[in-house]
A and B are shown apart, each in its own frame.
Chain A
């Protein structure tokens, strides 16, 4: 079966750095997405990786290793507004998105 694993919850301090990991086992691979979702709101697109390596976008970076079935989202200079759930999703061989259950990130002052 297809599976996306991410930690259920993480806690970090304002101003610090946090890394959210995602491992996947899917039928084929056509890209990995990270989304941010505030409670009760729609997910919003953060990043997309299809090749191995690091993609940097401001305070957020995303890394991919296809051989290891592994990605991480790195958030720097954490702000209180970064408190949200972070969803990892992999597009499989049928170009369908397989979603992880999400990681709830709690930022403390």
Chain B
């Protein structure tokens, strides 16, 4: 089954304790992206990657890191989490070639992160 797999689904952590949210896709998609979703603000892009070893900042990159060492994996790293990073996080992937990208993004199931 074609899918984007995110783990964990739920995470409660303390301020300053490093954490990683994993994301993996099995569709051979070039493009992957991380979003956070907060009430009333919609989806805001954190980082994105057009292909292996190519990553770029989105709209709200502060406090986050990513890596793209393999095509299928795109982990999100919070080196020193703070309470304002409490949010619902989504990983998404798609084909990067615009004329092929008619289906939009495929999203992971989401990670609800609480930082206390």
Does the CB pair B103–A43 fall under 8 Å?
A: no
The verdict on B64 contacting chain A, using a C-beta distance below 8 Å, is no
Does the CB pair B109–A42 fall under 8 Å?
A: yes
One of A33-41, A63-71, A74-82 at the interface: A33-41
- Give 1 or 0 for each of B19-43: 1 = CB within 8 Å of chain A CB: 0000000000000000000001111
Give the A interface residue count (CB, 8 A). Answer: 22
Which of B105, B108, B109 neighbours the largest number of chain A CB atoms within 10 Å of its CB? B105
Give the B interface residue count (CB, 8 A). Answer: 22
Distance between A28 CB and nearest chain B CB, rounded to angstroms: 12
A contact set with B: CB distance below 8 Å: 4, 8, 30, 33, 35, 40-45, 48, 87, 89, 91, 95-97, 99-102
B contact set with A: CB distance below 8 Å: 40-45, 48, 58, 88, 90, 96, 98, 102-110, 112
